[in-house]
């Protein structure tokens, strides 16, 4: 099946570099008109991505707005509609990291990361859905992380919480989007970017190039993925897997109801330990 996005309009947030840049370029090469969004401090780089797309014959527009600001997000959508007349694809990719142990993490550290990742994904999704419903549908692609479901990385409480929230938000968006013709999926990428530099320093695996993740995003943005929604895809080191929540087989109390003593005596059985 061919992935068709020719002539469609895509917004990619956090697209000045790293994964967002790779997604924007790949979508443009697949025929989409791309809005390259990033914050003001990265405006020059955003312009460079726009020029790179245009240099290869694509159509692109740079818009500098923060995904944490509801007014800015509305302007992002309005300017996109004003320039291209439609919105078909939203890639929620913007993100930041502020890694510290919980006992040293400030309110601002926690709030800032959730604001960009989780609030930003919500705000962009809400405005995109309002625009897409009038056209009969669209594609929303969110970004989560292995930190959300592996969960054993010290110093990432804010990031892991935000990325876990995005998984939940993806499911709700998919459920609400069905009646509107809007799909919503998430990618969980492992790639060498400025954000992951401290974790992947010295790792030269070519599959860690952000461009290696982009085909999954282009596929999810396309008509070929019209029946796929509510999924989370892990893309790492040349492999793709589906991330799903599992629940162990439930156990009943041997009495009328569970007691503290029975739980303590059967905790290994409850945990599925041999």
Q: Is the pLDDT of residue 197 over 80?
A: no
* Average pLDDT, rounded, for the chain: 94
The backbone region for 66, taken as left when phi is positive above 0, alpha when psi lies in -120 to 50, beta otherwise, is beta
For residues 2-11, give the mean pLDDT: 88
The percentage of the chain sitting over the pLDDT mark of 90, rounded to a whole number, equals 86
Looking at residues 142-168, what average pLDDT do you find? 92
Closest CA to 166 of 118, 212, 203: 118
The secondary element (H helix, E strand) that includes residue 21 is helix 18-29
Contact 89, 221 (CB under 8 A): yes
Looking up tokens 């809005």, which residue turns up?
35
- H or E stretch at 177: helix 157-177
131 pLDDT more than 90: yes
Give the pair of three-digit tokens for residue 162: 């935000």
Within 10 angstroms of residue 156's Cβ, the number of other Cβ atoms is 25
- Please say if the pLDDT value at position 44 is more than 60: no
Question: What burial class does residue 135 get, using C-beta atoms within 10 Å of its C-beta: 0-12 exposed, 13-18 middle, 19+ buried?
Answer: middle
Q: Tell me which residue has tokens 């014959």.
A: 57
Q: What is the mean pLDDT of residues 107-125?
A: 98
43 pLDDT band (50/70/90 cuts)?
A: very low
Environment class of residue 230 by beta-carbon count within 10 Å: exposed (0-12), middle (13-18) or buried (19+)? middle
The CATH architecture annotation of domain 9-245 reads 3-Layer(aba) Sandwich (3.40)
pLDDT band of residue 196 (cuts 50, 70, 90) is confident
Give the model confidence (pLDDT) of 21-42 as tens digits: 999 999 999 999 999 999 955 4
Give residue limits of the domains in the chain: 9-245
**Residue 18 pLDDT class (50, 70, 90 cuts):** very high
Q: Any catalytic annotation for residue 159?
A: yes
> What residues contact residue 190 under an 8 Å CB cut-off, 6+ apart?
146, 196, 208, 234, 235, 236, 237
Residue in 23, 149, 150, 159 annotated catalytic: 159
8 A C-beta contact, residue 47 and residue 64? no
Higher pLDDT, 242 or 43: 242
């Amino acid at each position: 099946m061919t992935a068709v996005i020719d002539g469609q309009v895509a917004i990619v947030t956090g697209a000045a570099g790293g994964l967002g840049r790779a997604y924007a370029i790949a979508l443009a090469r697949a025929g989409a008109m791309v809005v390259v969004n990033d914050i003001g401090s990265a405006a020059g780089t955003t312009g460079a991505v726009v020029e790179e797309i245009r240099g290869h014959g694509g159509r692109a527009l740079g818009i500098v707005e923060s995904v944490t600001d509801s007014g800015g997000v509305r302007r992002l959508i309005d300017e996109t509609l004003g320039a291209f007349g439609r919105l078909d694809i939203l890639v929620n990719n913007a993100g930041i990291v502020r890694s510290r142990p919980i006992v040293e993490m400030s309110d601002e550290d926690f709030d800032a990361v959730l604001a960009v990742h989780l609030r930003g994904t919500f705000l962009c999704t809400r405005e995109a859905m309002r625009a897409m419903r009038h056209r009969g549908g669209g594609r929303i692609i969110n970004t989560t992380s292995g930190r959300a479901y592996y969960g054993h990385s010290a110093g990432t409480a804010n990031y892991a919480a935000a990325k876990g929230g995005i998984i939940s938000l993806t499911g709700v968006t998919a459920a609400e989007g069905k009646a509107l013709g809007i799909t919503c999926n998430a990618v969980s990428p492992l790639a060498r970017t400025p954000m992951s530099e401290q974790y992947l320093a010295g790792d030269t695996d070519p599959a860690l190039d952000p461009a290696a993740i982009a085909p999954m995003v282009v596929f999810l943005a396309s008509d070929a993925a019209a029946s796929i929604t509510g999924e989370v895809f892990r893309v790492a080191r040349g492999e793709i897997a589906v991330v799903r929540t599992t629940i162990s087989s439930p156990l009943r109390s041997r009495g009328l109801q569970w007691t503290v003593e029975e739980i303590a005596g059967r905790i290994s059985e409850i945990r599925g330990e041999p």
